[in-house]
Structure 1
Amino acid sequence: MSESGYTGAQPRMGFFTDTSVCIGCKACEVACKEWNDVPEAAGLDLLGTSYDNTGDLGANTWRHVAFIEQPVSSVDTVSTVDSVDLGMPSVGAPGQAAEGVRWLMSSDVCKHCTHAACLDVCPTGALFRTEFDTVVVQQDICNGCGYCVPACPYGVIEKRESDGRAFKCTLCYDRLGAGLEPACAKACPTDSIQFGELDELRERAAARVATLHDDGVAEARLYGHDPADGVGGDGAFFLLLDEPEVYGLPPDPVVTTRDLPEMWKRAAAAALGVAATLAVSFLGRRR
């Protein structure tokens, strides 16, 4: 049995996103929209704060490439990632300082949590855990209650305004069933998005961090890979070149329903106490 409670024989599948080789091309966003028929979130105009036109994850953006521009003066120690390996010019390479600016880029996605609060609160069973240990919304069952939206510790799930139902990344569940990798990973030209068995990806990620540290990129670290974290580890985890907050990620995410069992116990105890009091009062009056 997996940590998530799933008992299937299929190994857990997931994503490892290595932001140190993300070039911000948005091929993953386009591939996700095309394959899953995700509607346009807004216009194609840039937001005005970066080379970004989608802004955040949501019902109409299942993959989001963040562009983070940092003045070099605000970075204590700027280590550079070798851009030669990527076939890129040095200016503007991921994590590279150029003309007083360092660019950080990252393709964000639903984390497919081990302990998924969205599953806990869904009253219809629209959210379910697949045989690949991923978390998927069944749109034909979703009633639009929206309980899953505040339950997500990462702010991933959102209701689509056009019909009120909740939508998010499915890790291309239909493609996995056909033996194909997710569309975003297939389209990524630098292998920043890597798909495979989660245990193997974790080993690969640890080796990548060690390599970066040996190359002087001291700030490289993993996020969401640890099964001992507040959500039991993520099915989609990341290699970052700065603190999680810089990428808009919570530093210490926790499953938002962790206290529900204790709350239900207390509620049940209180209800029994009230019932006992009423029974004693009723019997006293009869006597």
Structure 2
Amino acid sequence: MRERTLFIDPGRCIGCQACVAACRECDSHRGRSMIHLDYVDAGHSTAAMPTVCMHCEDPVAPCAQVCPADAIPVDADGVVHSASRERCIGCGNCVHACPFGVPKLDLAEMLQYKCDLCYDRSSRGLAPMCASVCPTGAIFFGTYAELVADRPKAQAVDVFGFGDAVIQTGCAVVVPADREHSVVPGGYE
């Protein structure tokens, strides 16, 4: 996990979509939101979950690994960027390879796009737009120490299991500290 990164705390998300609106305002996103909210309707209540790129570290970015045009750059900080407009051929391999369902394909432009942690901001130490506007702290940008200082009963999960595959990510999901610590199929520890 990167030193300063995104921590997603689904227990705090109220589904207000402030993160989606703010993402559209990031200078490099051209009016498009790179984040989306997934909603789970349990019959008696509805839960929301912010979905951002988890910036896979080990193995490094499955989306980038399957790109035949080598269009998805991964920088030295571990940030997995959207596809390069000059290189992307719009094949969609990256969309299918991502275990988190993050990359999207713009069919009009035949171009992949996804969360890049608002790299124009985060590379200068500023929080991504989504984290800067989240009213409940469901999207938190900082260090693990800052997270624990703010939420002593939380732990960050950055290892996810998908069948036989285990992926370590640069971003993390926040779960209660009293959860048992083991990889569970589907993603949560």
Could you say whether these structures have the same fold, taking a TM-score greater than 0.5 normalized by the shorter chain as the test?
Answer: yes
Paired amino acid for 1:190: T
Partner of 1:183: 129
Using the alignment, how far apart are the partners of 1:119 and 1:227 within structure 2? 18
- Answer yes or no: is the 8 Å Cα contact 2:158–2:168 preserved in 1: yes
Q: Which residue of 2 aligns with 1:83?
A: none
Aligned partner letter, 2:90: G
Shift in Å, 1:202? 7.4
Name 2:80's counterpart in structure 1: 135
Whether the aligned pair in 2 keeps the contact of 1:19 and 1:106 (CA below 8 Å) is yes
What residue is the counterpart of 1:106 in the other structure? 49
> Partner of 1:124: helix, strand, or coil?
coil
Verify: 1:22 aligned to 2:13, yes or no.
yes
| Structure in which a larger fraction of residues adopt strand | 2
Instruction: In structure 1, give the amino acid aligned to 2:69.
Output: T
| Alignment correspondent of 2:171 | 236
Superposed displacement of residue 26, structure 1:
0.6
Against the structure 1 CA distance between its residues 149 and 70, is the aligned structure 2 distance closer, same or farther, given a 3 Å change threshold?
A: closer
Q: Deviations over 1:178-235 (max 9, x none)?
A: 33210000011111101124x547756984337xxxxxxxxxxx6x523788343222
Deviation per CA, 1:69-99: give whole Å up to 9, x if none: 324xxxxxxxxxxxxxxxxxxxxxxxxxxxx
Amino acid at match of 2:12: V
C-alpha distance in 2, partners of 1:207/1:122?
40
The structure showing larger relative contact order (alpha-carbon pairs under 8 Å, at least 6 residues apart) is 2
Given the alignment, which residue of 212, 225, 235 partners 2:158? 225
Given the alignment of the two structures, is residue 173 of structure 1 paired with residue 119 of structure 2, yes or no? yes
Q: Is the 8 A contact 2:95 2:101 kept in 1?
A: yes
Deviation at 1:240, TM superposition (A): 5.5
RMSD: 3.0
What SS does the aligned partner of 1:148 have? helix
C-alpha contact 2:10 2:174 (8 A) present in aligned 1: yes
Could you tell me which of 64, 70, 75 is aligned with 2:36?
64
> For the Cα contact (< 8 Å) 1:12–1:133, is it kept in 2?
no
1:272 is aligned to none
Give the Å deviation of 1:251.
0.8
Structure 2 CA distance, aligned partners of 1:106 and 1:33? 18
When the two structures are superposed, what TM-score results if normalisation uses the length of structure 2? 0.75
> Structure 2 matches for 1:8-87, cutoff 5 A?
11-35=2-26, 36-39=29-32, 61-71=33-43
Any unmatched runs of 5+ in structure 2? 177-184
Distance in 2 separating the partners of 1:141 and 1:12:
30
Distance 2:66 2:101 in 1: 15
**Conserved in 1, the CA contact under 8 Å of 2:159 and 2:166?**
no
Structure 1: which 5+ residue stretches go unaligned? Answer: 3-10, 40-60, 72-100, 211-221, 242-249, 254-287
Contact 1:146 1:159 in 2 (8 A): yes
Q: Percent identity?
A: 32
SS of structure 2 residue aligned to 1:32: helix
